[in-house]
Structure 1
Amino acid sequence: MGTHTCRRRAWEAWKDAGLPLSTPSNEACKLFDATLTQYVTWTNDAALGGIEGCLAKLKAADPAFAMGHAIANGLVLIGTGSSVRPVPLGRGPGVIAPASQPLIDTHLLPCPGDPEGGRSWPRSPNFPGACELWEQILRDHPTDMLALKFSHDAYFYLGYQEQMRDSAARVYPFWTPGVPLSSYVKGIYSFGLMETNLYDQAEKLAKEALSVTPTDAWSVHTVAHIHEMKAEVKAGLDFMHGTEVVPARRRLLHGRAGGRRKDWRPGVRLRPLLRAHPSLQEFPSSLALAASSGALHRWTRWALCWVDTVGPVQVDTGSDMLACHNYWHWALYLIEKGEYEAALTIYDDHVRPHVWVRDPDTGASRLRRFPPRVLGVSVGERWRDVLPVTREHSRDHILLFNDVHFLMASLGAGDAQTTQELLTTLQEASESPGENCQHRLARDVGMPLCQALVEAERGNPDRVLELLLPVRYRLVQIGGSNAQRDVFSQLLIHAALQCTSGPHRNVARSLLMERDALKPNSPLTERLKRKAAAVHLLQ
């Protein structure tokens, strides 16, 4: 069975792989590998201090290691949680190695237009340009995982679905089983296939990946998307339940095979649990040993495992960076079924405690899928939990995808000041976009979408349609997945259901017929059709 235990390759191993590194430090090479592995597997290895701990040790091992700076700075930028500022090379904290260092590492290619001949950050984020450089690297070094993963994430942000698929397709044949992390490339490729509606191929490849590495949360994520897009609710729920925890782990903790306690519930992380309940260190003894050694990764899949001695109590060890997003997919199946309270329970137990800026959709979009005016479902004060995470980034404008979800949070929480600040600064960015592709897109797509959200909150459904209908086929350009952007399709449908003007009378009918054709047998679509029939919009 595969695990996501961090590999730590020394300099010679990197050279043998055709990827020589520019540091003489074996320790730096090993820490680079450990950081890369955690990034690819969506985990923080506690034994190594997680990604942040590895990066700190990496910098200490060789402060001049070019690829150390490339992965450190790249993770900050690809995380989209910090604004980019033009910083000349070597003149600020955390920047890449001096220009005098011989550069074997081709991730650090020169930025044009630097009058001093050194390398500096571009003056605006340029994801398309970065992708071109990563593709150049992959043509010469198809097993360069950092270039593949950075480009995969950037294509996702840009809504470049075909490029995301084809980038992986071009290098996939080189990732033979003996290449470290090769099974994860199956998951990366399968996601691109899924986003371009090649569901059968995507599912086959994702399940191949899971047969090698059951802890591969990204492949679980792909299969979750497939069942969601095909409205296969029961299959999706069964799959998420079946992959949440390895069956052998259940036997160890419960003393029986399969199943789980009906009353088990998340709550406490493992190490704090052991400190608070020393008796657990003796029962079972293997649990305490696993906790101290980090070996729990051998038994868990993408999320959580459980003990039922003083509780039940949660043991949290899985793919911690993606687990709450996978629970978001779990909740989508419940929303599809109309089980809104159950979906909110999933949100409260698994999503609410872990909302973070790189994945604003997980919190904001989930809550947006409970529109009280239409469904009579209240999310209560939950918006106020999301707002502190998003409010401090309301002026960043790194990704439009982030902006619209930050706006959902401020609107939902009733924070008029943050809402106005976000809209005003985004408008200003769209008027002077320079080479920033996101700011260029803001004028024609981002601002109408944001204004539509505002008008929906104000109860102006006809205005929502006027703003959204002309740009609906361009929304893919803001990035994210088809499943994530479906919240905007639902926004449009709900607005159409409430429209009163003659020109918009048949829009709801048209949208629902279209949705039914694309996603047959969807319980959510059926409920919306019944709603439309009740207000005489399907006649």
Structure 2
Amino acid sequence: MFDDRGLELSSENETAVTAFNQAIRSFLEYRTTAMPLAKQAAESDPQFSLAHCLRGYFFMVFGTFLVLDKARAALREAQLTSEKATSRERKHVEALRLWIEGDLMAANACWESILFDHPHDLLALRLHHFNSFWMGQTRALRSVPASVLADWRKDMPGYGNVLGMLAFGFEENGDYGSAERYGREAAEVCPDDLWALHAVAHVLEMQGRHGDGLKWLSHPLDKWNDRNPFRRHLWWHKALFHIDAGRLDGALELYDAAVTGGKSDFYLDIQNAASLLARLEFCGVDVGPRWEALADYAENHIDDHALVFTDIHCVMSLAHEGRFDAAKRLIESMKTYSSDEMKYASRVIRTLGVPLCESIVAFEQGRYDDAVNGILPLRHATGPVGASHAQRDIFDQYLLEAALRANKVSLAQSILQERMLLKPGTHEAEYKQARLLQGALTAS
């Protein structure tokens, strides 16, 4: 039998193959049905190796060590049933093994090798894209979707998803015109693809087009209630547009209504929440006790280092709430985890993750000179911690805020001139420019 794009599958069970195809479609559309459908595919045909592998992939996408044992169990089932699998399916199983072991470069190479022979393998393309994003492999975000697009027909299931990935790749590489063109086409072809909507939102954010951004995301808050927590990241983007437009109350209201995951411990919810609260406070907003729940989460995940970017946001919450002993324990745990040289993340944690975390602790302890001295040498090199340019902008915001509080006028002015040139007319830069001028007048 075959998948929706004509790729051969080792299963001969129609129910299993149907569930498998539906699972991939749900995964690409961020639907909560993806995991149940993958489980149904594996249970309908226990010898379907790729279905077990798909379950393992989905556990890994959760971005937490809490489900690592479940991913390993799925891998064992995939390996035990791989004898009758196709060579393509066996490569997927190998990629899962490498991912679980933390060898992300090798896993990405495995998915890319699949695409050389099977450019319609949308699963391999999306997982390569996912891991490239969290590794800071910016060029790969554009080059790999671009390498397969010519092999796709517009009427093929998933064509819009390929366009959406290509659009995001163009955006992260600074080609905003191409990114917006492909992103809007992707959203027309596949309106259920949140990644395409997300790609265009990034273009509008990077260009400072907050009015267009608010229109682009002018959906009712229940629009994507059938989707997984990624939907809250889109509302995070809308909150950034509110901040840029000077609608700070609107951003805080959106935080409470749609951005925060409540008791959610999904990694993206933690990142979104901590980052947005910091941005609001740097614009003079009193966010009240909202940090406390994030710090509680962080204290319960001291040893969960699935994503360096999440670790940094956990330290933000702990340090903000004055839980410096817990922040120190988390940083020490990061150092211990990074001692395993076989893991891709080890060097990233040591050279970027730990110094950034220590700088944020210094900031919250009022040691603003130390915060500046820690972040400034890294500000142009933070890509490997993962995430997007817009998300990593939080490090520049900490640096700017530390410079303002330390009365480092020339540094603050330099950063502000950059921000005002690249995103003119945004409230955040104008507010901080006014603070800088006021500080200079007071000092004189």
Retained in 2: the 8 A contact 1:35–1:51? yes
Percent identity of paired positions between Structure 1 and Structure 2: 28
3-state DSSP of counterpart to 1:463? helix
Q: 1:206 aligns with which of 177, 183, 186?
A: 183
Retained in 2: the 8 A contact 1:364–1:409? yes
Pairwise CA distance, 1:95: 4.1
Q: Does 1:365 align with 2:275?
A: yes
Q: 2:374 aligns with which of 456, 467, 477?
A: 467
Higher deviation after alignment, 439-448 or 484-493? 439-448
Q: Does 1:187 align with 2:187?
A: no
Retained in 2: the 8 A contact 1:70–1:108? no
For 1:122 and 1:482, locate their aligned partners in 2 and report how far apart those are by CA, in whole Å.
24
What is the total number of aligned residue pairs between the two structures? 440
3-state DSSP of counterpart to 1:370? helix
1:100–1:160 distance in 2 versus 1, CA, 3 Å: closer
For 1:38 and 1:350, locate their aligned partners in 2 and report how far apart those are by CA, in whole Å.
22
Pairwise CA distance, 1:398: 2.0
Q: 2:22 aligns with which of 34, 52, 67?
A: 34
For 1:141 and 1:317, locate their aligned partners in 2 and report how far apart those are by CA, in whole Å.
34
Provide the residue aligned with 1:97 in structure 2.
79
For 1:92 and 1:19, locate their aligned partners in 2 and report how far apart those are by CA, in whole Å.
22
Higher deviation after alignment, 331-340 or 75-84? 75-84
Q: Does 1:506 align with 2:416?
A: no
Which deviations, in whole Å up to 9, do the C-alpha atoms of 1:220-268 show, x marking residues without a partner?
Answer: 1111111111111111112211xx25xxxxxxxxxxxxxxxxxxxxxxx
Q: 2:329 aligns with which of 403, 416, 421?
A: 421
3-state DSSP of counterpart to 1:58? helix
1:204–1:123 distance in 2 versus 1, CA, 3 Å: closer
For 2:368 and 2:335, locate their aligned partners in 1 and report how far apart those are by CA, in whole Å.
23
Q: Does 1:158 align with 2:135?
A: yes
Q: 1:344 aligns with which of 248, 252, 270?
A: 252
For 2:244 and 2:70, locate their aligned partners in 1 and report how far apart those are by CA, in whole Å.
47
For 2:301 and 2:75, locate their aligned partners in 1 and report how far apart those are by CA, in whole Å.
21
RMSD of aligned C-alpha atoms?
Answer: 2.7
3-state DSSP of counterpart to 1:21? coil
Retained in 1: the 8 A contact 2:78–2:93? no
Q: 1:383 aligns with which of 278, 291, 300?
A: 291
> What is the correspondence of 1:42-441 to structure 2 with a 5 Å cutoff?
42-44=30-32, 50-82=33-65, 95-98=77-80, 101-109=83-91, 124-241=101-218, 244=219, 304-305=222-223, 317-353=225-261, 355-359=264-268, 360-371=270-281, 375-430=283-338, 432-441=339-348
1:444–1:12 distance in 2 versus 1, CA, 3 Å: closer
1:440–1:138 distance in 2 versus 1, CA, 3 Å: same
1:476–1:509 distance in 2 versus 1, CA, 3 Å: same
Pairwise CA distance, 1:438: 1.2
Provide the residue aligned with 1:22 in structure 2.
10
Retained in 2: the 8 A contact 1:217–1:319? no
Q: Does 1:533 align with 2:437?
A: yes
1:203–1:85 distance in 2 versus 1, CA, 3 Å: closer
For 1:123 and 1:37, locate their aligned partners in 2 and report how far apart those are by CA, in whole Å.
23
Pairwise CA distance, 1:87: 10
Provide the residue aligned with 2:360 in structure 1.
453
1:88–1:346 distance in 2 versus 1, CA, 3 Å: closer
1:483–1:205 distance in 2 versus 1, CA, 3 Å: same
For 1:110 and 1:330, locate their aligned partners in 2 and report how far apart those are by CA, in whole Å.
36
Larger radius of gyration: 1
Retained in 2: the 8 A contact 1:352–1:385? no
Structure with the higher helix share, 1 or 2: 2
3-state DSSP of counterpart to 1:97? helix
Higher deviation after alignment, 349-358 or 153-162? 349-358
Which deviations, in whole Å up to 9, do the C-alpha atoms of 1:152-181 show, x marking residues without a partner?
Answer: 000000111111111110011222122112
For 2:71 and 2:265, locate their aligned partners in 1 and report how far apart those are by CA, in whole Å.
29
Retained in 1: the 8 A contact 2:75–2:97? no
Q: Does 1:442 align with 2:352?
A: no
For 2:215 and 2:92, locate their aligned partners in 1 and report how far apart those are by CA, in whole Å.
49
Provide the residue aligned with 1:275 in structure 2.
none
With normalisation by structure 1, the TM-score equals 0.76
Pairwise CA distance, 1:367: 1.2
> What stretches of structure 1 of length at least 5 have no aligned partner?
1-10, 45-49, 113-118, 246-302, 306-315
Retained in 2: the 8 A contact 1:135–1:147? yes
Which deviations, in whole Å up to 9, do the C-alpha atoms of 1:390-435 show, x marking residues without a partner?
Answer: 44332121221111012122223443443222111112233x1312
For 1:13 and 1:217, locate their aligned partners in 2 and report how far apart those are by CA, in whole Å.
22
